[in-house]
């Protein structure tokens, strides 16, 4: 009985809260798998509250690690995009970082060698 009650509460979360959060489950995004809430719901229905707690806890930990990995990947991509803004370094007299949505104008005299070469923040 408790299993079904918790599963219904999770379903309510999925239907009425989750769509308005503005982001998806990191585990589901990274692994192209079920969201953590769907995993927890199914686990509760299949194995019960007591037996499912450790696997749900592990899944939430894995989701946290996936979120950290996705954020690091996003930062690396932004840095790559930023450095591509200053492509070929000294061969371009002035490169506008605004073309990369960075804001300021950079001087290639800086050689565009670092993340702050254009005086733009990532």
Helix-then-strand count for the chain, H and E: 4, 2
State pTM to two decimals: 0.66
For residue 89, what pLDDT is reported?
Answer: 52
Q: Tens digits of per-residue pLDDT, 23-55?
A: 899 999 999 999 999 999 999 999 999 999 999
CB atoms within 10 A of CB 66: 19
Torsion (CA) 79, 85, 88, 93 in degrees, nearest 10 = -140
Q: Tens digits of per-residue pLDDT, 76-95?
A: 998 887 777 665 454 444 44
Could you state, in order of their start, the residue ranges of all structural domains in the chain? Answer: 2-73, 86-122
Instruction: Return all residues near 87 (Cβ < 8 A) that are at least 6 apart.
Output: 95
Residues 93-112, mean pLDDT to the nearest whole number? 47
CB atoms within 10 A of CB 68: 11
């Amino acid at each position: 009985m408790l299993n079904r009650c918790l599963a219904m509460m999770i379903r309510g979360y999925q239907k009425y809260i989750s769509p308005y959060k503005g982001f998806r489950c990191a585990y589901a995004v990274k692994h192209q798998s079920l969201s953590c809430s769907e995993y927890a719901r199914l686990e509760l229905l299949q194995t019960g509250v007591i037996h499912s707690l450790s696997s749900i806890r592990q899944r939430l930990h894995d989701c946290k690690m996936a979120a950290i990995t996705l954020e690091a990947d996003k930062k690396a991509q932004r840095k790559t995009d930023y450095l591509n803004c200053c492509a070929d370094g000294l061969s371009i007299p002035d490169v506008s970082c605004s073309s990369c949505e960075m804001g300021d104008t950079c001087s290639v005299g800086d050689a565009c060698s670092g993340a702050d070469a254009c005086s733009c923040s990532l």
